[in-house]
């Protein structure tokens, strides 16, 4: 799944269709471990486990959901446990915050610098990440005209994934 339109479309579609999710988990964890080693940052057991939890599905997870899982798995029940792990994972580019859901998802493109955009299913809450440049041209022009340097932009589209659209359609019949 290198740079390129086909890879981008495939990755986004993969999150919202049946696939071997073990490949997503393995690919992202391998890249996270490699980058942490290369960058000489401490990929602690709690940070790694937080990423593993977020990789379990393509659904976004709120911080307190992550905290509950970390606590159940023996990593502690205090909010700083989850928030520190999330801060590290976001800082390293291994996790993104989905603003619309106030929740977090594992990055499916940790191997490349990108600005994510998210397709969010309103029914099942699955989230597909794409590498589409999310800065609308008008916003970019306005920012440039005022001398504003955009550092972060989030694009989120809400709708129905194929499975939920089919189920909703079947319910209407």
**Angle, vertex CA 50, rays to CA 162 and CA 154, nearest 5:** 50
Question: Domain with 15 in it: what CATH number?
Answer: 1.10.10.10
- 144-154: average pLDDT: 77
To the nearest 10 degrees (0 to 180), the angle between helices 45-55 and 21-39 is 150
In angstroms, the Cα distances linking 138 to 49, 151, 155, 158 are: 40, 16, 14, 21
- pLDDT grade, residue 3 (50/70/90)? very low
Q: Which residue has the higher pLDDT, 86 or 126?
A: 86
Tens digits of residue pLDDT in 105-144? 999 888 877 778 888 888 888 888 887 655 567 667 767 8
What are the backbone dihedrals phi and psi of residue 127, each rounded to the nearest 5 degrees, phi first?
A: -130, 125
Q: Is the pLDDT of residue 86 over 90?
A: yes
CA 13, CA 129: separation in Å to the nearest integer?
Answer: 9
Number of domains in the chain: 1
Q: Six-digit token pair at 82?
A: 């989850």
Residue 19 domain boundaries? 5-172
Tens digits of residue pLDDT in 89-109? 999 999 999 998 999 999 988
List CB contacts of 70: < 8 A, sequence separation 6 or more: 46, 49, 50, 53, 76, 81, 82, 85
Q: Which residue has the higher pLDDT, 15 or 171?
A: 171
Q: Is the pLDDT of residue 168 over 70?
A: yes
Instruction: Please tell me the predicted confidence (pLDDT) of residue 115.
Output: 75
Burial readout 116-153 (b: 16 or more C-beta within 10 A, e: otherwise) = bbbbbbeebbbbbbbbbebbeeeeeeeeeeeeeeeeee
Tens digits of residue pLDDT in 34-79? 999 999 999 999 999 999 999 998 789 999 999 999 999 999 999 9
């Amino acid at each position: 799944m290198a740079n390129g339109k086909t890879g981008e479309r495939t990755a986004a579609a993969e999150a919202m269709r049946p696939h071997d999710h073990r490949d997503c988990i393995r690919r992202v964890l391998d890249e996270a471990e490699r980058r942490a080693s290369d960058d000489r940052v401490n990929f602690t057991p709690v940070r790694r486990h937080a990423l593993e939890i977020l990789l379990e599905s393509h659904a976004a997870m709120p911080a307190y959901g992550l905290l509950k899982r970390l606590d159940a798995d023996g990593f502690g029940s205090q909010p700083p446990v989850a928030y520190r792990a999330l801060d590290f994972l976001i800082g390293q580019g291994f996790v993104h915050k989905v603003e619309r859901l106030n929740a977090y998802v594992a990055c499916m493109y940790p191997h490349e610098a990108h600005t994510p955009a998210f397709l969010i299913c309103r029914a099942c809450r699955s989230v597909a990440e794409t590498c589409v440049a999310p800065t609308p041209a008008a916003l970019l022009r306005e920012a440039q005209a005022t001398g504003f340097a955009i550092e972060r932009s989030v694009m989120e589209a809400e709708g129905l994934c194929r499975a939920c659209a089919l189920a909703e359609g079947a319910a209407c019949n």
